[in-house]
Amino acid sequence: MSELEYVVGALLREKGLTLGVVESATGGLISHLITNVPGSSNYFKGSVTAYADETKRKIIGVKFATLAEHGAVSSQVAMEMAAGGRKTLAVDICISDTGIAGPGGATLEKAVGLFYLGLAHQCGVFSRKRMFRGTREEIKQKAATAALTWLKEYLVSLKE
């Protein structure tokens, strides 16, 4: 366990915000890291592992048209996952991930290690594109860490 989960938890408590997570390629790893912190139930309300496109659509509300036009691994889907998760989980902030952890699944346009992270808050819905190298497990760990690092940076940037 790293210090990152504790810092994120402290910031969420300090700002009185609740958190939800919608995961795809990380398969629940982000939620696992968050819940390693004792007392995380004070700010972490839950998560959905929306691995299949059907789950992204039916539970989180990602539009069929978005998936058809941009593919599951896209900025647009990451943002719709975060926004839909914020609504579904009734939280202040929701983060999401969608990516290709490998070793298969790559296309000519989308390589193994490509991830899009999403973040939804009352201030807006945002996404970040990231590329990671390593084994499947290493890529998932790097993506989860990147999502929590971005969340930490976002929370620090919020004015009281």
Specify the pLDDT at position 159.
Answer: 82
Would you give the DSSP letter of residue 78?
H
Kindly give the confidence (pLDDT) of every residue in the chain, 160 residues in length, as a single tens digit, with 9 standing for 90 and above.
Answer: 589 999 999 999 999 999 999 999 999 999 999 999 999 999 999 999 999 999 999 999 999 999 999 999 999 999 999 999 999 999 999 999 999 999 999 999 999 999 999 999 999 999 999 999 999 999 999 999 999 999 999 999 998 6
pTM above 0.95, yes or no: yes
Q: Where are the beta strands (DSSP E) in 9-111?
A: 19-23, 44-49, 93-99
Specify the pLDDT at position 129.
Answer: 99
Backbone angles phi, psi at 87, to 5 degrees: -70, -50
Residue 43's DSSP bridge partners are: none
Most distant CA pair in the chain: distance in Å? 45
Backbone angles phi, psi at 139, to 5 degrees: -65, -45
Angle between helices 3-15 and 136-157 (to 10 degrees): 30
Specify the pLDDT at position 160.
Answer: 65
Residue 120's DSSP bridge partners are: 94, 125
Q: Which domains does the chain have, with CATH numbers?
A: 16-157 (3.90.950.20)
Answer whether 67's CB lies under 8 Å from 42's CB: no
Rg (CA), the chain: 15
Specify the pLDDT at position 106.
Answer: 93
